[in-house]
Amino acid sequence: RREEFHRYAKVSVLLAFLGYLTAATALVVELGLPWMVWHPIIYWQHHSALFEISWCVMLYLTVLFLEFIPVPLEETGRLAGIRKFLTKYKIVLVFLGVMISTLHQSSLGTLFLIIPEKLHPLWYSSLLPILFFVSAVATGPLMLILAVLTISHLYRKPLENDILSKLGFASMIVLAIYGLIRLIDIGVEGKFAIAFDGSWQSAVFWIEIVLFVGLPVLLLVIPRWRRSTPALWLATTSAVLGMGLDRANIAGVMLVQTGEIYLPTMYEIMISLGILAAAILVFLFCLERYKIWEVKWEDPREKPEASPEFSRPADVWLGTPRVAGRTVYSLIFIVALSFGLAVISTERIRSAGAEEIPVTKAHGGDTLFVNGNRDGSGVSFAHEEHVKRLGEKESCVLCHHMNLPLDKQSGCHTCHSRMYTPADVFRHDWHASPDGANLKCGACHREDLQRTAQTAKQCQDCHKDLFPSGTLVQINHYNARSYTDAMHGMCMKCHQKNALTLVGKEKLAQCATCHKTGMPEYLPPEIENYFRDTTFNHVTVPSIDTAGMMEEEPSI
């Protein structure tokens, strides 16, 4: 038991609680449908790393709240029973917090294991869960030291460098272990050549290693430096920046294998800074209002014997610090709010949902170019090669599982006629219309039963060759899936199966196998600049107008 560290327990709990609360708030703001953030509570996905992360964050936030709530309850006589109960069983909350945070950090690393083809090799590793956990363990005490240094500077409190140096030494050991794991893993995987290839990614990698491991370990391994306040400032700041750079690289910056680089907008940056600023203000508020230290902090300027201090811009005394703070900060809030409202875009924010984009036939011969919405991105499909490989003409029914009337081996686009939305294949109005089939209701519905889809005849009762013999696809209804879903559903099942059985085809089920990011070979090099557009040869997301290419179909 190290009682000397007990004085920093409340600071560490408050720091962790506000840190996780800030991250959770940012995630809710980032979600496209934030009002559905409760879905993981009801809809469980047991094989999803993100599901585990969601639950760990919710549970850990709850544990941190229960750990910290006795502090503000000390200021009031109410709810004393709750405070005593939580204080009595604090050790249980500590164990739960350690367990849940361990699961959360390792699961966060697990989340990025699913993108080996997108994340840069210097950051992708099968040890990501371990690296995330070890780096979090190393950064925790350093973040606490940085917070204590900042608080001591702002509130003129004496520093206890001997105690802080012990925390720094423990973090230094874990940081060294993290650095060894990272470098050994890169060596075993044969990636050191990439680390020294002179690219900007390799430069960022070494900057991250120096900030997160090299400089902090160097400053904290020597006892004299470890007890020095400037060295503690430099070591902790460097480690926190290095940790942030590592997480940013893995989560976004180094996801460059697709050729796309995402740059946040001004509003996203301002919202992120606003959430961070709010957390800092709450942290300082708790320091000044509650007994976070062994002795509750008191502003010496609040004492009755303190002389008034006049502001520098004008010889005006606005009152005691609390009164003056309300006046000054209220003015700052009004000015900041006015500025924020002024820069908000006046354009109407709306969403019409997935657009009903009609699908056109794939063009080509032995090799088809599947580009249903003619938006400039598509996939080359070696049709004739697949026919030969799967069993000549007898294999047609594996994909062409439905025949339209007076047709054989109907194309995918005939039924899956909408790019991103389901399509009605039966067309009830056409069957009943005089301009269509001109069928009476009794031709399909019995007179003695209610006219519903369940009581109607089956389509194959009239269309005998609707389903070709030997098809493996079962049709349960006539609301066809979208063209995008149908293409991916048909192709990916076969690719996933063959990726496990065919030698040399392990990457068959990966997106890049079909969705190429390079310029097609059949196009001249002088138009290469056009195909640097980030929308080329990628799966187009619904409701996104790719530079107007959806509005009008180009002539062929």
Q: Is 9 domain-assigned? A: yes
The pLDDT of residue 305: 67
Q: Do 376 and 506 sit in the same domain of this protein?
A: yes
> Are 412 and 488 in the same domain?
yes
Domain assignment present for residue 543? The answer is no
Query: Would you state the structure tokens that stand for residue 56, as one six-digit string?
Result: 């760990």
Choose the weakest-confidence range: 62-66, 186-190, 269-273.
269-273
- 3-state SS, residue 462: coil
Give residue 146's pLDDT: 92
Which domain does 9 fall in, by range? Answer: 1-114+265-297
pLDDT at 178: 94
* Interval 314-365: pLDDT, tens: 566 666 777 777 777 888 889 988 988 888 777 766 666 677 888 888 888 8
**pTM listed for this prediction:** 0.66
Q: Are residues 110 and 124 in the same domain?
A: no
**128 pLDDT band (50/70/90 cuts)?**
very high
Residues 376 and 536 sit within 8 Å (Cβ to Cβ): yes
Statement to judge: residues 527 and 448 lie in one domain? yes
pLDDT digits (tens, 9 = 90+) for 478-522: 788 888 888 888 888 888 888 888 888 888 888 878 877 655 565
Residue 224 is assigned to a structural domain of this protein: yes
User: Which residue would you say has higher pLDDT here, 2 or 428?
Assistant: 428
Per-residue confidence (pLDDT) for residue 556, from 0 to 100: 26
- pLDDT value at residue 555: 30
Q: 473 and 367, same structural domain?
A: yes
Regarding predicted confidence, which is higher, 63 or 263? 63
Secondary structure class of 294 (helix, strand, coil): coil
pLDDT of residue 207: 95
SS (H, E, C) 231-280: HHHHHHHHHHHHHHHHHHHHHHHCCCCCCCCCCCCHHHHHHHHHHHHHHH
pLDDT: is 467 or 188 the higher one?
188
- DSSP for 17-56, please give it: HHHHHHHHHHHHHHSSSGGGTTHHHHS--TT-HHHHHHHH
The answer to whether residues 163 and 236 belong to one domain is: yes
Number of domains the chain is built from: 4
Structural domain includes residue 540: no
Question: Is 555 inside a domain boundary?
Answer: no
pLDDT at 212: 94
Q: Are residues 451 and 488 in the same domain?
A: yes
Same domain, 76 and 15: yes
pLDDT of residue 499: 87
Chain segment 43-93, per-residue pLDDT in tens: 888 888 888 888 888 999 999 999 999 888 887 777 788 888 888 888 898
What does the pLDDT read at residue 534?
42
Q: Determine the pLDDT at residue 145.
A: 92
- Cα separation, 412 vs 226, in Å, equals 69
Q: Is position 232 within any domain?
A: yes
DSSP 334-380: HHHHHHHHHHS--SPP----S--PBP---EESSEEEE-TT-SS--EE
The share of the chain scoring above pLDDT 90, in percent, equals: 18
Q: Report the 10 Å Cβ neighbour count for 397.
A: 19
| Alpha carbon distance 127, 109 (integer Å) | 8
Axis-axis angle for helices 49-68, 9-30 (nearest 10): 140
The arithmetic mean of pLDDT across residues 147-170, rounded, is: 87
Average pLDDT (119-129) is 90
Q: Is residue 548 part of a domain?
A: no
Task: Give residue-wise pLDDT tens across range 216-252.
Answer: 999 999 988 888 999 999 999 999 999 999 998 898 8
**Nearest to 532, CA basis, from 255, 261, 265:** 261
522, 509, 521, 514: which is closest to 538 by C-alpha? Answer: 514
Q: What is the mean pLDDT of the chain?
A: 82
Q: Is the domain of 326 the same as that of 241?
A: no
Q: Which residues contact 362 (CB under 8 A, 6 or more apart)?
A: 368, 369, 370, 371, 372, 381, 411, 412, 413
Residues 258 and 269 in one domain: no
Among 117-131, 216-230, 306-320, the least confident range: 306-320
CB-facing half-sphere around the CA of 234: CA atoms within 13 A: 15
Q: How far apart are CA 181 and CA 189, in angstroms?
A: 12
For residue range 391-413, what is the model confidence (pLDDT) as tens digits?
A: 888 888 888 888 888 888 888 88
Helix (H, G, I), strand (E, B) or coil at 152: helix
Same domain, 449 and 509: yes
User: How confident is the model over 446-451, as a mean pLDDT?
Assistant: 85
* Gap between the Cα atoms of 211 and 239, Å rounded: 6
Q: Answer with the one of 345, 374, 405 that is the final residue of a domain.
A: 345
Closest CA to 30 of 268, 346, 347: 268
Q: What is the pLDDT of residue 553?
A: 33
Q: How confident is the model at residue 529 (pLDDT cuts 50, 70, 90)?
A: low
pLDDT confidence bin for 269, thresholds 50/70/90: confident
Higher pLDDT, 35 or 203: 203
Whether the predicted pLDDT of 208 surpasses 90? yes
Q: Of 136, 106, 126, 111, nearest to 212 (Cα)?
A: 136
74 and 198 in a single domain? The answer is no
Residue 551 in domain: no
